[in-house]
Structure 1
């Protein structure tokens, strides 16, 4: 086994600490089920390849035995043996090509099958699942982990099989020639095994330490890159870089201390089974046996030619096992994604009647232990604006996300048009409930397609009309290809521009109930004014639930619900809550002081 950075280092865990994978081997076996018959067929051809690969060498040895043996009786066997050698070569190349073609086509079908299956499954999981994971995690599973299984399916599985079959076939032939000299030729194998066992002592513990060290350096890199702007602003670049450099140095020291002694043992163990060593053992053993009359000199030739094949595949076994382990880890993550519980859909969906919204004794917990909402009840009349305010962590965003079923409540019910949202089919629910959040997600497709996401059949005239209403039409026409410009390729939109595209999308979808996480929280003044104008168009006539971050934007709301500790502690209009002198009044006073301080600074 040759120890390199690749062989010593296992596949790194998902950087976001995502779902723990299911047992990898079992997951891998289950995921390979659709192509198992083709893999078995490819394995049969690979066995033929592994055996036929030895045929030319065996034929050369047998040809030498025939030609060098006394007497002319064997001369007639020369041409059949030569023909067999040629046939062996042809069968080898043919079986290798067929096996490889089968596995590559099977791998392509498997990747397509898995990606389609995951895409279909992701369309059924709760929207909140995506909020708990970054796009990098989903991309890694969909793209990287599926691709990682390619090496196993298309290459490593066949290499592993050949690495087992070829030595066994060689061993069988050599035992047929002379079992005693075969045992001598096998002497380096236990020496290799002993050196390898010593080298691998404490391997699991070192793997654990490697993962910890790798996580520390990854965290240092992320911290350094993400915080570089703030670090430079406060003149702390040298200190921050020193933390990164120290983490890198610690990792290098650990890795070197682990791998350096393994490199010596690795070199020693590989020396025992290297082709020159095997050739030396075969030749020396054969010479001793021939000198003592235990074997005919011509019978030494098979051991010189074929003996090397006994240990040559050991490196392939090592590399193949690495691929197997890596593929198993990837399969575990794919299986974990596919095991994500989908959003329950009703067997007989109910259609809501009207646009009234009601929360009835709603309780919710993310982990099943720590309550985020406690017995919350709230009514939203059609065409009214309800604002949610409260300290950070009070449950505002959680309550708002329960309405479009990002999650389902643990207790209580949420009604839309008199029907529990869990009794309404998802497609029907999203015709009634739309949302515009701060963190806008735009697809890597045209601007027009991004706006028409909720109504793909919409005409271009409708799309442009909604873009004008959202105050983004003029900006779109300035793009290289106008509405056909691809986000991320032809253009990159600012936060405020992306918000206006999202508002145009919501306008086109025309949902009568809207959840709005204040869209101007991170906008510059120019964008904020345009977004406010667009929102005025968007909310007209709709039932609106607003998560308020700036109290000045919701003073005209029909009702304001104040959350604190997961409960609604106050409810009323802006004037009523100020008069009550409670939490809202204190928050308003703090808001006024902040505005006055900002004005003074200007």
Structure 2
């Protein structure tokens, strides 16, 4: 049970694994010396022929052997720790590099919770595999051969019987491996599903409470936990059963070897001292394999975890071009642009044709699921597996480098993340070399500087998840951070969602101010926010069905006009109701 691909990654850990094997082998040599010395003492005392010098020599040998074994044990643990820590560090670094190459669109291929589980417990399960199992695997092959070379000189029949019985344990391990593989697959599938469900319910706890659906969510978690408990108990019972079988084989083989040794002594083929050596070392033939069996199940967990990790590392990466957008204003255009998500049966976007001129304020509107967010993902380079054409200036998206695209395009969404720390810490993410004056100017542009001045200025602390900021303040801070970039295109994806009307109006003023010098792409469910846009594209079922400015679309009396009028009536009704109350 050796993962060749994983072995190739052990460039820094190979030396430590080799040291583990050496320390175990040296400990075995010390054990052989100890047993030979003990047998010599026993034989001399039994036959009353012991000399003080020879007894002292034997006792000293035993003492040295014990000290050597203690030292080897400590050195083995030290090498084991570093072997495991090095591969864990290497794998985590490799996974982070893979995430960076996948880009922000990685969630199309794998859930975030699964990556989190692989980076934490998944890699931790490789600790036993790399730190214990691998060295034990090679030592379990080396130890019986070493014992055979030494003991065959004492008595060949006993040594041959013991050596022939040793392979029975790996045979048992292979049989168990075939039985356990499917169980472990089900175990990991259930494990990842439970983690996914738990985190989802935890994040949506407030919503569940609002709709009184928390009990149903609890029942779902309980049901999945029970399923996970059952498969876990099945894995544990299989491990216990296999341990019993391996013990029977190991100690049964040693018992057969001891019987042969006693038979040879009875037939006067070996001395009492040689018999004691053979009897005491008989179990040493099997203990390395038995220990390998003890690490086997944890090694299997590590193997399964590594399979998941390698599946992640083998995910298709978006092709990154090598061309850069010129440091000047550019037009964005598409022709017959079509996009289909992996494993989807229908395209999310079909035959999108549009042109966005520099310094225009553009809006994408339409019902949920119309394809607005998918179009944003394409425009920002998060998704690249498209058909048709999407150009930034004269350069096709597929030929553009992601770094160049990130430098020229900035996104502010309704879930823009604000980190724990100070206002300064969050702002300099966009421009590490920004001066305090630049940071203050950005905050003034979004009307946040007065708030900061009333606290501790740029050093004002932000709590975890911006708990000490209102929704509007959090969103304005995200916009201030975006303004510090040197981007030429700003995409506001539902940037006014889930905030109060006053904050919404303020943010829309900021967006309109940005549109005077930059290209602005606005995604909004509320059509009242897009009335001043130069061009509005109405999407439905992945297609642009209407386009034009606000007045043009109203005059067409189509889908846009119907949705706008419907929203206006609802807002008038809500306002009237609030005035009456």
Alignment of 1:325-340 (within 5 A): 325-340=300-315
Asked if 1:169 corresponds to 2:171, the answer is no
Of 463, 475, 495, which residue of structure 2 is paired with 1:499? 475
- Counterpart-to-counterpart distance in 1, 2:456 and 2:340: 47
Q: Aligned partners of 1:88, 1:257: CA distance in 2, in Å?
A: 42
2:33 — aligned with what?
A: 55
In the alignment, what sits opposite 1:419? 395
Q: Are residue 451 (structure 1) and residue 430 (structure 2) matched?
A: no
Partner of 1:14: none
Match of 1:387 in 2: 363
- Aligned partner of residue 36 in structure 2, secondary structure: helix
CA contact (8 A) 1:24 1:331 kept: no
Is 1:587 paired with 2:555?
no
In the TM superposition, what is the alpha-carbon distance from 1:423 to its structure 2 partner? Answer: 4.0
Distance 1:250 1:386, change over 3 A: closer
* 8 Å contact kept, 2:408–2:489: yes
Does residue 364 in structure 1 map to residue 339 in structure 2? Answer: yes
**Superimposed CA distance per residue, residues 373-411 of structure 1 (whole angstroms, 9 cap, x where no aligned partner):** 222121122222111112222221111222221122523
2:495 aligns to what?
Answer: 519
Change (3 A) 1:129 1:172: same
Contact map agreement 1:28 1:328 (CA 8 A) in 2: no
Q: Which moved more, 1:190-199 or 1:587-596?
A: 190-199
Question: Secondary structure at the residue paired with 1:374?
Answer: strand
8 Å Cα contact 1:558/1:573 also seen in 2: yes
2:524 equivalent to 1:548? yes
Q: Does 1:28 align with 2:3?
A: no
- C-alpha separation in 1, matches of 2:400 and 2:189: 46
CA displacement at 1:301 relative to structure 2:
1.7
Between the aligned partners of 1:129 and 1:570, the Cα distance in structure 2 is 32
State how far apart, in whole Å, the 2-side matches of 1:220 and 1:178 are: 62
1:490 CA drift (Å): 9.3
Matches of 1:520 and 1:50 in 2, distance apart?
Answer: 71
* Whole-angstrom distance in 2 between the partners of 1:550 and 1:558: 17
Q: Which residue of 1 aligns with 2:275?
A: 300
1:124 aligned counterpart, secondary structure: helix
Q: How many residues end up aligned between the 2 structures?
A: 577
Output the CA distance in 1 between the equivalents of 2:525 and 2:466.
33
Equivalent pair of 1:39/1:103 in contact (CA under 8 Å):
yes
Q: In the alignment, is the contact (CA less than 8 A) between 1:449 and 1:456 conserved in 2? A: no
Deviation at 1:442, TM superposition (A): 3.5
Aligned to 2:113: 136
Distance 1:190 1:344 in 2: 49
- The whole-number CA distance in structure 1 between the counterparts of 2:561 and 2:544 is 15
Over 3 Å counting, the alpha-carbon distance change for 1:524 and 1:301 in structure 2 is farther
The 2-side partners of 1:489 and 1:229 are apart by: 15
Indicate conservation of the 8 Å contact 1:170/1:310, yes or no.
Answer: yes
Aligned to 1:157: 134
Mean CA deviation greater in 533-542 or 475-484:
475-484
Distance 1:385 1:147, change over 3 A: same
Contact 1:357 1:416 in 2 (8 A): yes
Q: How many Å apart are 1:508 and its aligned residue?
A: 0.7
Partner of residue 354 from structure 1, selected from 322, 329, 338: 329
| 1:321 shift after superposition | 2.6
1:401 aligns with 2:377: yes
- Consecutive unaligned residues in structure 1, runs of 5 or more: 1-22
Q: Are 1:68 and 1:298, in contact at CA under 8 Å, matched by a contact in 2?
A: no
**Residue 124 of structure 1, aligned match among 98, 101, 104:** 101
Equivalents in 1 of 2:450, 2:492: separation in Å?
24
CA–CA separation in structure 1 for the residues paired with 2:301 and 2:378? 38
Shifted more, 181-190 versus 545-554: the winner is 181-190
Distance (whole Å) between structure 1 residues aligned to residue 241 and residue 184 of structure 2: 19
Structure 1 residues 258 and 578: alpha-carbon distance in aligned structure 2, compared to 1, 3 A threshold: same
1:502 offset after TM fit, Å?
Answer: 1.4
- The structure-2 alpha-carbon separation of the partners of 1:145 and 1:501, relative to structure 1 and needing over 3 Å to count, comes to farther
> 1:548: Cα distance to partner?
1.8
Q: Give the whole-Å Cα distance in 1 for the aligned partners of 2:194 and 2:459.
A: 43
Q: Match of 2:537?
A: 561
Report deviation, 1:317.
0.9
TM-score by length of 1: 0.80
After TM superposition, give the deviation of residue 544 of structure 1 in Å. 0.8
- Conservation of the 8 A alpha-carbon contact between 2:508 and 2:529: no
> How far apart are 1:322 and its partner, in Å?
3.1
Cα distance in 1 for partners of 2:100, 2:236 equals 45
Distance 1:28 1:311, change over 3 A: same
Equivalences for residues 248-327 of structure 1 within 5 A: 248-249=225-226, 252=229, 263=240, 266-267=243-244, 270=247, 273=250, 290=265, 293=268, 295-327=270-302
Tell me if the contact between 1:359 and 1:414 (Cα under 8 Å) persists in the aligned partners. Answer: yes
SS, match of residue 568 in structure 1: strand
Once superposed, what is the RMSD of the aligned Cα atoms?
4.2
TM-aligned CA deviation for residue 587 of structure 1: 1.7
Asked if 1 retains the 8 angstrom alpha-carbon contact of 2:108 and 2:341, the reply is no
Higher normalized contact order (CA 8 Å, seq sep 6+, divided by chain length): 1
Partner of 2:329, secondary structure, is coil
CA drift at 1:242? 4.3
**Structure 2: stretches of 5+ with no match in the other structure:** none
Query: Hey, what's the Cα distance between the residues in 1 that align with 2:322 and 2:282?
Result: 67
